[in-house]
Amino acid sequence: MDNSYDNFKYLTGRLLLGADHLALEPLFQSKSDEELAQIFRNHETDPIGITDPNEVSLRRHMDSWLNEASLIYLSWLSGYSSDPEGKDQGNRIFAILGHPSLRPYYESYYKQALPCLFCLHLEENKIETQDSPGAFEAFANLYERFRNDRELACFLEFLDGYCYGKPPAIITIDSVIRAFENPDRIVEAAFRPASQLTPLDSGIIGLLHFATFCTSLHEFLEKCKGLPLLQSAFWFFYAYWFREYKKDVKNLSIQAIQNAAMNTKDSGSQALASESQDRLNIIMSALTGNDYASELIKQFPATDIGIASFDLTEKATVKSDLASRFAAYNKPRTN
Amino acid sequence: MPIFDFDSAPNHRLVTQLADGRSKMISCRKPAKHCILFVHGFNGDAIDTWAGFDTIALNDPDLAETDLIFFGYDGVRSNALAASSFLFDLLDSAMTDGKALHPIRSSAPNYESCVLAAHSLGALVTRWALIRANQQKLDWLDKIRYILFAPAHSGGIIVDSVTELLGSNPISAFIGSAAKVKIPLLHALRTGSPILKSLEDHTISAEAAGCTTIKARRVLIAEHEEIVSNLPFPGDPFPTAIRGATHTSVSKLNDFPHLITYVKELL
């Protein structure tokens, strides 16, 4: 039985009736292009950053909305759901995704390939599909498992350069990794009551959750070996975590194990530390490397995409094709 | 043994988060006659605790008219009574007005039966919810079929076994072995603790008053159990052991495909 249209209606309904869309659609209908570009600006070029709670909330809604939209694109790519292009639901998605004030947000400032491809798709610039609806369902389960993990989100913020407190008591990603020198401290953080949780505790727990996520994602991607295009597209859903944050998460997570093993004396513990480190190295090398990226990049349409009609920093419109924008993903991470 | 199935679910839709932000639901395409409500344990995950019930079980034609709901709660930082209150709200709504299932189910599903499946600490969470439903004399209690996987209601969780509880990843594997610290939080669940004693007293008096739902229809235990006590709870049937299972694998259909028969026999 072909359930692709039923799946399409369910998935697009989930997006269009969801809290994120209900918060964003009126915004795109009522605000000027300049106002929207201001909300979805690059935080690094703003000397104050993003501090207005309303802006923070809208940007969180947008990040979550982009994830759901990317899922719809993956569902089409895997043959799980029918094509949204030309349908009313597709038009409503395009009204936000294709808005010139938003596009720089995912094309340039916080670079994500799947929203770019989905936008091109809705402009009738499509790539080949690779049918495996079951693989998509398994991916969606993985996404659901980790989507609302607060500690994982805290760890990702640390990775992106966030810090808590003031010098000399400042807590950064380096504090999180250093904490692993004392394994008892890690266990205490993992089981501390909610009222006593510190940002450092959250970062520590977040790293453990991140390691569990990476282990699950790597296992899943390896099962998708026979589906190279989908394997690559699924990896791209999370590529930002592995390629775009300031800190190299592979080096940091391996350093965490090395720190924990620092004071182990007996040969049994040292062997276990070495085994854990080797396993983590395999997982993180695969996820932060370039092997998973190449297959989807090969499929990128050659069409130029414009950046930043309302880019507050560059002013001028710059054009480049999608493949060159993600060219660095075809090489190992350099920092 | 199948550990991953690339066939698409013919009768069910995609897993979707419920309004409480932690629970997930896989709804069937047809109007649902039954539901299975899964409740994870300490440090468990709403879906991963039941790995396989979210994938390979969906190809079973006997579940074509069954919704699967995966209750989520903070097993580490919450407590059994608070979690049971959240579970009660979800269960009560699912069995009556269906509002907790919106917008996945736009009208009350009117389930004929609900299998309540609990793992580890989830046994305490579920039993407290059933005791409350019994005290409030709620009609839907008669539709509940109760099954337990490695329940922690007779003592546990053993505090030295942190490796298995920290999560399945290479860092936790090493930290769990290197750490020497005890976890005081779990002492509340030691054998004979006040919370377990109170649960036992409430269960015995509910059963004496004629409530049979509160009695598990089946209790599955792991052959290689290192986390909880396998002692039977008063009134529950003699447990069925799963050969080769550990505390965390005993609820996973991916590892033990025959678990599906124990769930289906209750529908």
Predicted confidence (pLDDT) per residue in B40-58, tens digit: 998 788 999 999 999 889 9
| C-alpha–C-alpha distance, residues A168 and A331, integer Å | 38
The answer to whether the beta carbons of residues B120 and B43 sit under 8 Å apart is: no
Summarize pLDDT for A267-290 with one digit per residue, the tens: 888 888 899 999 999 999 999 999
User: Cα dist. A152→A158, A235, B14, B56 in Å?
Assistant: 10, 18, 23, 28
The answer to whether the beta carbons of residues B120 and B220 sit under 8 Å apart is: no
Q: Where are the domains of chain B?
A: 16-155+191-264
- A315 pLDDT above the threshold of 60: no
pLDDT at A304: 62
How high is the mean pLDDT of chain B? 88
Optimal mutation site among A180, A186, A224, interface B, most CBs of chain B within 10 A? A186
Summarize pLDDT for B142-200 with one digit per residue, the tens: 999 999 999 988 776 654 556 666 777 888 888 877 776 666 546 667 777 888 889 99
> Model confidence at A47, in pLDDT bands (50, 70, 90)?
confident
pLDDT at B3: 40
Contact A17 B17 (CB under 8 A): no
Q: What percent of chain B has pLDDT over 90?
A: 64
> Model confidence at A133, in pLDDT bands (50, 70, 90)?
very high
Summarize pLDDT for B239-263 with one digit per residue, the tens: 999 999 999 899 999 999 999 999 9
As a whole number, mean pLDDT of residues B195-216 equals: 91
Residues 288-327 (A) with a CB less than 8 A from some CB of B: none
As a whole number, mean pLDDT of residues A64-68 equals: 97
| C-alpha–C-alpha distance, residues A111 and A115, integer Å | 9
Residues 249-268 (A) with a CB less than 8 A from some CB of B: 253, 256-257, 260-261, 264
> Model confidence at A313, in pLDDT bands (50, 70, 90)?
very low
Summarize pLDDT for A162-196 with one digit per residue, the tens: 888 888 789 999 999 999 999 889 888 988 888 88
> Domain B16-155+191-264 class?
alpha beta
Contact A184 B8 (CB under 8 A): no
Alpha helix (H) residue ranges in B96-179: 122-135, 162-165, 170-178
> Model confidence at A309, in pLDDT bands (50, 70, 90)?
very low
> Which residues in chain B have their CB less than 8 angstroms from residue A135's CB?
6
Q: B105 at the A interface (CB within 8 A)? A: no
Contacts for A75 with CB less than 8 Å, ≥ 6 apart: A7, A8, A11, A81, A136, A140
Contacts for A93 with CB less than 8 Å, ≥ 6 apart: A12, A15, A16, A69, A72, A84, A118, A122
Q: For B169, which of A186, A215, A269 is closest by C-beta distance?
A: A215
